[in-house]
Amino acid sequence: MNIKSKNIGLVAGPLAFLLIILFFHPEGLNPRANAILATTVWIAIWWTTEAIPIAVTALLPIILFPLTGGLGLSETTASFGHKYVFLYVSGFIIAIAIEKWNLHRRIALSIISIIGTNIVNIILGFMVATAFMSMWISNTATTVMMLPIGMAIVAQLRDNPDTIEDENRIFGKALMLAIAYSATIGGMSTLIGTPPNLVLAGVVEETFGYQITFAQWFKFGLPISVVLLFICWKYLTGFAFKFKQKSFPGGRTEIDKQLKALGPISYEEKLVAGVFALTAFAWISRSFLLNSLVPAIDDTIIGLISALVIFLLPTKNKDRRLLNWEEAIKLPWGILLLFGGGMALAAGFKDSGLALWIGSQMTLLDGIPLLLVVVILIASVNFLTEITSNLATTAMLLPILYPMAKMIDIHPFVLMVSATVAASCAFMLPAATPPNAVVFGSGYLRIPDMVRVGIWMNLLSIILLTLFVYFLLPILWNFDPLVF
C-alpha cells in the first residue's frame, strides 16, 4: 500500500466508526450490534489500507468493544487465548526446532534428489519439497529456506557451458514462481499450514460450536493441494514457460553437493524428526484412535505436549535442550494477535446479535443457484487477497458469511470454507502473499512476469476450488449443503 492510501485509511477508519455509532440505526439493529458493526468497519478499513500494522489493528476490539458496550473486556480478551492460538504456537515451536537443526533442508534436498533429473523434474522436485515443508512450517519460512537452494541450482545451469543461451533465465523465472506457488498450495493441506485455516476452525467453533479437527481438514485440504500442485507444475512447465533444453547439465551434482555438505544425519535431527512424525500421526489419527483411549485429548493438547517435549529433550552431548526460549521467541506474535482479533470479531458478531441482523439483510441472495454463489465468492476473495492480507480477509469475512448462509438456507461450511481456501490462492502480485514477495526479491522476476503467469493460476484455482467445495466437501465432511 502507498503512503496516500494509508493516510486516507487512517482517517477513514475512525470517521466511519463515528458515523455508524451516531447515525446508522436501522430497524432491528440493537445498540450492542451497532457498536460491533462500527468497530468491524474501522478494523476492515485499517486492515485493507494497512494504515498501521495489521497486527496492531487487531487489538482494537479490546479497546472499542468494552467502551461502546458491544462486548465485555473479559469476553473480548478471552478470544486472544483461544485454543487454536495455542495450536498454532505449538506448531510453530515444532517448526522452529526443525529449522534449528536443519532437518527441513535435508528433507527438501532429499525429495529433490529423488524426483529431479531433468529441468522439468527438478522443478517438480522443488515443488513437492516446498509444498511438503509448508504443510508444517510457515509458508514464508519455507520459501526463505528454499530460495537459496533454488538460486544455487539456477547458477549451476547458468555457469555450465552446455546450457543453451537464455535457458537459465527462463528456468530461473519458472523455478522462483514454482517455489512461491507450492509454498502457498502446500499450506492449504493442513490445519496449521496457513493461518486462514485456523481462523476458520476458530470462527466455526465460536459461532456454532462445531470442532473442525486436524484430520477432518486434512481429508479435504490434502486432495486440493495435491491436485492444484500437479496442475501448477504442468502449467508452469508446459504452458507458462517453454524449455528448449530438457536435460540439466550439472543439476544432480549440485543437489548431491548440497546434501553432502549437510553431512550425516545428526542425533538432534533424528530426535526432532521423531517428535515431528509422532505429532503428525497423532493429529491425523486422533479422531479415530486417540480419542477412544483418552477422550479429552484434542489437537491443541497434542501440539503442546510435543512442544513441551522439544524443550525437555537434551542434545547428544547434554549441553543444551533441543530448543531454548531465546530460539522459540521467534514465534510470529503478529499472527497470533491477528488470530485473537478475528476470534474477538466472531464473538462480538454472535453475542451482540449482529450476525442475525446481517443474515436478515441477505434476502437478495435468495433463489440464486448455490454453484453460482460459490463461484462468485471464491473469485471475489481470490482477487481481494491480491491486495489484502489473507488472514485479515478471512477474519473479516467469516463472521459475516455464517449468518448469510443461514439466511439463504445453505450450510455455513459451503461459504466459510470457500472463502478460506480462496484466500490462500493469490498468485499474481508480489504483495499478495509472503512467498510471492520473497521470490520477487530474488531478482529473476518482474511484476509483469508475475501478473502474466499468476492470472491464469488464479483462474485455474477458482475453477478447482469451486468443484471441490461444491461437489466433494459435502461428501468428505458428511453434510447436506442445503440443510443446516
Looking at the fold, whether 222 and 276 belong to one and the same domain comes out as: yes
More confident residue, 336 or 64: 64
Looking at the fold, whether 20 and 116 belong to one and the same domain comes out as: no
Residue 138 has which C-alpha cell? 510457515
Pairwise CA distance, residues 311 & 405, whole Å: 44
Pairwise CA distance, residues 236 & 172, whole Å: 12
- Sorting pLDDT into bands at 50, 70 and 90, what band is 173? very high
Structural domain includes residue 123: yes
Pairwise CA distance, residues 32 & 29, whole Å: 8
Share of the chain above pLDDT 90, in %: 46
Looking at the fold, whether 22 and 89 belong to one and the same domain comes out as: no
Looking at the fold, whether 171 and 283 belong to one and the same domain comes out as: yes
* 3-class secondary-structure state, position 314: strand
Residue 119's nearest CA partner among 150, 142, 91, 98 is 150
Q: Which residue, of 290, 307, 328, is where some domain finishes?
A: 328
pTM of the model: 0.85
Spatial neighbors of 407 by CB under 8 A, at least 6 apart, are 359, 360, 361, 362, 363, 365, 366
3-state DSSP helix/strand/coil % of the chain, to nearest 5: 75, 0, 25
Structural domain includes residue 121: yes
pLDDT, tens digit (0-9, with 9 covering 90-100), for 279-310: 999 998 887 788 888 888 889 999 999 999 99
Looking at the fold, whether 130 and 247 belong to one and the same domain comes out as: yes
At residue 261, the pLDDT reads 87
pLDDT, tens digit (0-9, with 9 covering 90-100), for 123-167: 999 999 999 999 988 888 888 888 888 888 887 766 565 556 667
Structural domain includes residue 75: no
Residue 364: DSSP 8-state: G
pLDDT over 60 at 404, yes or no: yes
Structural domain includes residue 443: no
Q: How many CB atoms lie within 10 A of CB 265?
A: 14
Looking at the fold, whether 212 and 264 belong to one and the same domain comes out as: yes
Looking at the fold, whether 166 and 280 belong to one and the same domain comes out as: yes
> What amino acid is encoded at 132 in this protein?
F
Mean pLDDT highest for which of 89-98, 263-272, 335-344? 263-272
Structural domain includes residue 358: no
Spatial neighbors of 470 by CB under 8 A, at least 6 apart, are 370, 371, 374, 414, 481
Mean pLDDT highest for which of 22-36, 150-164, 165-179, 463-477? 463-477
- Sorting pLDDT into bands at 50, 70 and 90, what band is 38? very high
Q: Whole domain around residue 16: which residue ranges?
A: 1-52
Structural domain includes residue 307: yes
- Sorting pLDDT into bands at 50, 70 and 90, what band is 409? confident
Residue 249 has which C-alpha cell? 547439465
DSSP for 378-424 reads HHHHHHHTTTS-HHHHHHHHHHHHHHHHHHTTS-HHHHHHHHHHHHT
Looking at the fold, whether 217 and 302 belong to one and the same domain comes out as: yes
pLDDT over 90 at 49, yes or no: no
Pairwise CA distance, residues 125 & 134, whole Å: 14
At residue 248, the pLDDT reads 65
Q: Which residue, of 328, 361, 377, is where some domain finishes?
A: 328
Angstrom distances, CA of residue 113 to CA of 129, 230, 376: 10, 18, 41
The total of structural domains in the chain comes to 2
Looking at the fold, whether 48 and 129 belong to one and the same domain comes out as: no
Looking at the fold, whether 30 and 90 belong to one and the same domain comes out as: no
Looking at the fold, whether 242 and 194 belong to one and the same domain comes out as: yes
Looking at the fold, whether 32 and 95 belong to one and the same domain comes out as: no
Structural domain includes residue 420: no
Q: Which residue, of 328, 354, 378, is where some domain finishes?
A: 328
Structural domain includes residue 72: no
Residues written for the chain:
484
